């Protein structure tokens, strides 16, 4: 009696261990491939800086370090592909060795066979959200900083957003001008609740200009109902005041933090602040929803692979079934990216864009697995 109760546990342990091994092999192979692709691309970008003198030159170790900083982010992005390829390889091996047929003959359903593996990778998905994602975010910030040092020019005519509004810093005639606003209309080039701090060439405070509204003109900014406070705290009120600056040539740009550079714990509060200041939150919301769906996405890849690879009991490798499994898995992933693009442009609701592809894959896999388990 003891042996009969122990048999299913041994079978579950063996199958789960086998799936984990194939998953890790696929993951390490894909990570190594992407690492070398990133390394080559960084070397190409470094070699193409012909005639650029204001950026630092990156040596071999700088490039290697930057490519290494992208590893954790690549792991996050590669996890669904590694799960798909690893599960297809694992289930194909089960078919070749008749493991699946023997197990089904002993009275175990397909759901019972794969449930321990599903639970294992669901826990792994939670681990990727709570541990891997914060670590990846931290390294991605360092990568972005190094990239701006070695490869990119800084944008001086864009407003950056934080919890205290919109900020812009620029230098005009040797003076440093810092503009803070609590509202920005990017199309009309207007600001609301404006505070402008002017520093002289020695970085000492010269004056502060506050205004209810402001508008960018060709070579200056026009402020309405302005209050000017100089270094001697003398206050002067004016109905209109023109301040010479380097005005943006076209529409005003607002730079927000990319969602993959924000810790998942801080992401909801950052989204609320963006919404408070009237910014488009779709991209950040969809990123948050996709992170939450990560465990379910891994499970859906296992379900889809198992339902397609184990539908036939033949031992030979059928290229058609393997190809179909790959096409179905990759299709769900790329459909998710397409819906992400639609959601970011506000053509699709963020909830549908974030949860839709994963839930479709999950329910499809559950239906196909249940169809296999039904007595014929």
* CA distance linking residue 151 with residue 148, whole number of Å: 6
Phi and psi at residue 328, to the nearest 5°: -65, -45
Residue 105 belongs to some domain of the structure: yes
Tell me: pLDDT of 14 over 80.
Answer: yes
Whole-number pLDDT of residue 191: 80
Look up the domain containing 36 and give its range.
2-152+274-373
Same domain, 6 and 147: yes
| pLDDT reading at 47 higher than 90 | no
Q: Is the pLDDT of residue 276 over 80?
A: no
Q: Which residues of 293-303 are buried (b: 16+ CB within 10 A; e: fewer)?
A: bbbbbbbbbbb
Q: Indicate the number of domains in the chain.
A: 2
The verdict on residue 262 lying in a domain is: no
Confidence of residue 244 (pLDDT cuts 50, 70, 90): confident
* Residue 180 within a domain: yes
Q: Are residues 141 and 278 in the same domain?
A: yes
Same domain, 91 and 237: no
What is the C-alpha separation between 11 and 7, in angstroms, rounded? 6
User: In this structure, what are the phi and psi dihedrals at residue 180, rounded to the nearest 5 degrees?
Assistant: -125, 130
Instruction: Identify the burial level of 269 via C-beta atoms within 10 angstroms of its C-beta, where 0-12 means exposed, 13-18 middle and 19 or more buried.
Output: exposed
Q: Judge if 147 and 176 occupy the same domain.
A: no
Domain-terminating residue out of 251, 285, 305: 251
Asked whether residue 362 is assigned to any structural domain, the reply reads yes
Are residues 59 and 135 part of one domain? yes
In this structure, the answer to whether residues 240 and 325 fall within a common structural domain is no
Percent of the chain with pLDDT over 90: 14
Contacts of 82 by beta carbon, 8 Å cutoff, 6+ apart: 23, 26, 27, 30
The total of other beta-carbon atoms located within 10 Å of residue 72's CB is 19
Residue 31 within any structural domain of the chain:
yes
Q: Is the pLDDT of residue 75 over 80?
A: yes
Residues 147 and 163 in one domain: no
pLDDT digits (tens, 9 = 90+) for 78-123: 998 899 899 988 888 888 877 777 877 777 788 888 889 999 999 9
Strand segments, DSSP code E, in 80-201 are: 158-162, 165-172, 175-185, 190-199
Higher local confidence (pLDDT), 306 or 190: 306
Over residues 293-298, the mean pLDDT reads 92
Residues 184, 64 share a domain: no
51 in the same domain as 141: yes
The whole-model pTM stands at 0.76
| CA 360/CA 332 separation, integer angstroms | 8
């Amino acid at each position: 009696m003891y042996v009969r109760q122990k048999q299913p546990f041994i079978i579950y342990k063996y199958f789960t261990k086998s799936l984990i091994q194939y998953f890790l092999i696929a993951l390490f192979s894909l990570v190594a491939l992407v690492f070398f692709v990133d390394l080559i691309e960084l070397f190409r970008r470094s070699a193409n800086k012909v005639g650029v003198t204001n950026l630092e030159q990156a040596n071999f170790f700088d490039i290697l370090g930057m490519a290494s900083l992208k590893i954790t982010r690549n792991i996050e992005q590669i996890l669904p592909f590694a799960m798909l390829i690893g599960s297809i390889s694992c289930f194909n091996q089960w078919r070749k060795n008749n493991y699946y047929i023997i197990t089904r003959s002993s009275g175990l359903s397909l759901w019972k066979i794969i449930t321990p593996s599903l639970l294992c990778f669901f826990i792994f998905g939670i681990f990727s959200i709570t541990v891997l994602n914060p670590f990846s975010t931290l390294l991605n910030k360092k990568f972005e900083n190094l990239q701006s040092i070695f490869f990119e020019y800084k944008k001086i005519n864009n407003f950056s957003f934080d919890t205290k509004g919109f900020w812009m810093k620029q230098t005009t005639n040797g003076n440093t001008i810092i503009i803070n606003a609590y509202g920005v209309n990017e199309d009309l080039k207007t600001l609301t609740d404006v505070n402008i701090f002017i520093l002289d060439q020695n970085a000492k405070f010269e004056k502060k200009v506050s205004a209810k509204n402001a508008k960018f003109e060709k070579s200056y900014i026009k402020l309405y109902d302005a209050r000017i406070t100089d270094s001697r705290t003398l206050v002067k009120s004016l109905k209109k005041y023109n301040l010479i600056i380097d005005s943006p040539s076209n529409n005003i740009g607002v730079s927000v933090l990319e969602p993959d550079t924000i810790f998942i714990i801080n992401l909801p509060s950052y989204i609320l602040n963006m919404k408070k200041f009237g910014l488009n939150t779709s991209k950040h919301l969809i990123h948050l929803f996709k992170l939450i769906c990560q465990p379910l996405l891994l499970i859906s890849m296992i379900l889809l692979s198992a339902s397609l690879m184990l539908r036939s009991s033949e031992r030979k490798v059928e290229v058609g079934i393997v190809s179909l499994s790959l096409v179905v898995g990759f299709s769900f992933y790329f459909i998710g990216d397409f819906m992400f693009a639609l959601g970011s442009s506000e053509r699709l609701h963020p909830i549908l864009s974030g949860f839709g592809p994963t839930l479709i894959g999950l329910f499809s896999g559950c239906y196909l697995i249940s169809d296999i388990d039904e007595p014929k």
